[in-house]
Amino acid sequence: MNEELEKIYAKIGEMEREITNLRQGYIIVNQRYNKSLESLKVLTSFATQAAKRSAAATELSLQAARNSVTAAKEAALESAITAANAAADAASTAALAAVESAAAAAAAASAAATASAQQAEQAVLQSAAEAAEASRIAAVCAAEAAGLAFEVSAMTRSPKQS
């Protein structure tokens, strides 16, 4: 009977050690999870900021395209074909910049969406939604800038009507 009790106590001791090891393993995994979660939050925050800045850059590019349209119209009225062509080129370049900014906003929104897919926490989801909205704004501005560039190009390339 003594021998059986010793075996039982030995088994209990093994189980206690295993439980201790499992607890320590859980603590390590939990710490790593928390660090990963914090990294995802930071990544999402940066991606959201990048998307917002890209949208702002796209809006500025759109304004540059609008200014180019105005300059091209004024130059066309004054028969300054060289200036009108330069304005058309500026509008085209502004449109390209707007498209690039929209692409950057979309990439940032994608990064934020990826982070939110990995951790469906409210703050992360909100950041992803903000990044997606910034991307939408950038795309709308890029499309309008491209249309303005086309308008300026068509206006300056067509023969002057008197």
Q: What is the mean pLDDT of the chain?
A: 76
Whether 119 contacts 40, CB under 8 Å: yes
| 90 SS3 class | helix
Distance CA 97, CA 112 (A): 22
Distance CA 32, CA 37 (A): 8
Please indicate whether residue 89 or residue 5 has the higher confidence score (pLDDT): 5
Looking at residue 3, its pLDDT comes to 87
Single-letter code of the amino acid located at 59: E
Burial (Cβ within 10 Å: 0-12, 13-18, ≥19) of residue 82: exposed
Q: What is the pLDDT of residues 44-80, one digit of tens each?
A: 777 777 777 777 777 777 787 777 778 777 777 776 7
pTM confidence score:
0.55
Distance CA 85, CA 102 (A): 25
Q: What is the pLDDT of residues 88-143, one digit of tens each?
A: 777 777 777 777 777 777 777 777 666 666 666 666 667 777 777 777 777 777 77
